[in-house]
Structure 1
Amino acid sequence: MTDQSPAAAAPLSQRPEVLDFLLTRRSRPPKTLAPPVPGRAELTPLLQAAARVPDHGKLEPWRFIVLERGACQRLATLTAEIGAAEGRDADALAKDVAGLADAHLVVAVVLSPKDSPKIPLWEQEMSAGAVCLSLVNACLAAGWGAGWLTGWRARHGGFCARGLGLAAHESVAGFVHIGTETRPPPERPRPDMDAITIWMTE
């Protein structure tokens, strides 16, 4: 009888083009993105790809809220209202407002932790963060520009509840802006691998 155990499975085939993509990937600043944006049929498989992340206990401690043009503009108005009421720095607030007012498609990756005696909150937060990065990479691989932002609104109870309808235990792991790249992103310094890597042989 043929051994069908996972250990007997054929090794994964090499995908050098995928590794090259990962070695050269670069998030796109949201301010450099413009229409057109992916429609629902185009975005759905990208969300499916984003959801294929490590998820200890299969809790799915995350979900998506897709913010189309009208929702982005509504949230820009809410940002201005809350920011002014709290006395936030005017220049910084103006940038926050513009970031949503100019957006045509943003996916809010919601951290929705589940009660678990085995899976701590920090593991669930890391899984939600993995969803954000996977969504950015899926968009880039599909030819779209994408960038992951957080900021004060991500964990602001009033903004999350009023703007996104989140429950008290939920927050936003990331706002992923998606669109068409209007100009190449500037390169940024990359880590010195020797400085951040330790090899242990025993």
Structure 2
Amino acid sequence: MFNDRSSLPAYLASRRSAKPRDMVAPGPDAAQLDAILTLAMRTPDHGKLFPWRFVKVNDRQAYAALLERAFLAANPDARAAQVEAAIAGAHQAPTLVILLYAPQESAKIPEWEQMLSAGAVGMNLIHAAQAHGFVATWLTGWITYDETVRTALCEGSERIAGLFYIGSPGQPLEERPRPEFTAMVRTFP
């Protein structure tokens, strides 16, 4: 957690995602989660369209049942072990928030800009969770593209942008490969 602007670069340089299966309690309580989501919403949003929504998953058993129905509908011959693996995320990490991309009608703001805003909300959510002393990660996967799940969680043209797992680290966070600076940055002209 950083307490002043001088520690922000150090925080960003050391930020890591955690694996949901390795997260343990405590996660944020209701007030902390609301504060995290409020900070996440402080994001660039051309036109002030707010093209995103959050779903706080409070009933993990109901969520697991939804995932099981969806997985079996798409994979009717799945074995029990496959179903268990497909829905394992429903029981991981103390807190789960689903970010929805909710495009808004606009003659001035193209959809791709709204999509970028939703992505910025996702990154802010991770930073806000970590600023509150928790670890977080953003995942996608079959759940985010499944029509049964989308229909249960979304309204209208909304889509699932990601699953955000939040908790405390159950083990040290690992560094992952990062791109080479020179391969990713160029100068014009």
TM-score, normalisation: structure 1: 0.84
The answer for the alignment partner of 2:111 in structure 1 is: 121
The answer for the alignment partner of 2:173 in structure 1 is: 185
Q: CA deviation at 1:92?
A: 5.8
Q: 1:130-173 CA distances to partner (integer Å, 9 max, x unpaired)?
A: 111110111112110111111122232321222x2x21301111
Q: CA deviation at 1:96?
A: 2.9
Contact kept in structure 1, 2:24 and 2:94, CA below 8 Å: yes
Could you list the runs of 5+ residues in structure 1 that have no partner in the other structure? 1-13
1:57 aligned counterpart, secondary structure: coil
Aligned-residue RMSD, C-alpha:
1.8
The answer for the alignment partner of 1:79 in structure 2 is: 67
Q: CA deviation at 1:129?
A: 1.0
Moved more, 55-64 or 95-104: 95-104
Q: CA deviation at 1:93?
A: 4.5
Contact kept in structure 1, 2:54 and 2:99, CA below 8 Å: yes
Counterpart selection for 1:25 from 12, 15, 23: 15
Map 1:42-191 → 2, pairs under 5 A: 42-68=32-58, 70=59, 72-87=60-75, 93-162=83-152, 164=153, 166-191=154-179
> Partner amino acid for 2:87?
V
- Name the CA shift for 1:126/1:199 in 2 (closer, same or farther; >3 Å): same
Moved more, 80-89 or 97-106: 80-89
Q: 1:10-64 CA distances to partner (integer Å, 9 max, x unpaired)?
A: xxxx922001111111111111112221111111111111001110100000111
The answer for the alignment partner of 1:195 in structure 2 is: 183
The answer for the alignment partner of 1:37 in structure 2 is: 27
Q: How many Å separate the matches in 2 of 1:21 and 1:42?
A: 20
Question: Matched residue pairs, number?
Answer: 184
Q: 1:73-101 CA distances to partner (integer Å, 9 max, x unpaired)?
A: 21112212221221186566533311112
Contact kept in structure 2, 1:157 and 1:168, CA below 8 Å: no
Could you list the runs of 5+ residues in structure 2 that have no partner in the other structure? none
1:55 aligned counterpart, secondary structure: coil
Contact kept in structure 2, 1:109 and 1:132, CA below 8 Å: yes
Identity %: 36
Q: CA deviation at 1:105?
A: 1.4
Contact kept in structure 1, 2:70 and 2:146, CA below 8 Å: no
- Name the CA shift for 1:119/1:191 in 2 (closer, same or farther; >3 Å): same
Q: How many Å separate the matches in 2 of 1:138 and 1:198?
A: 30
> Partner amino acid for 2:69?
E
Higher relative contact order (CA 8 A, sep 6+): 2
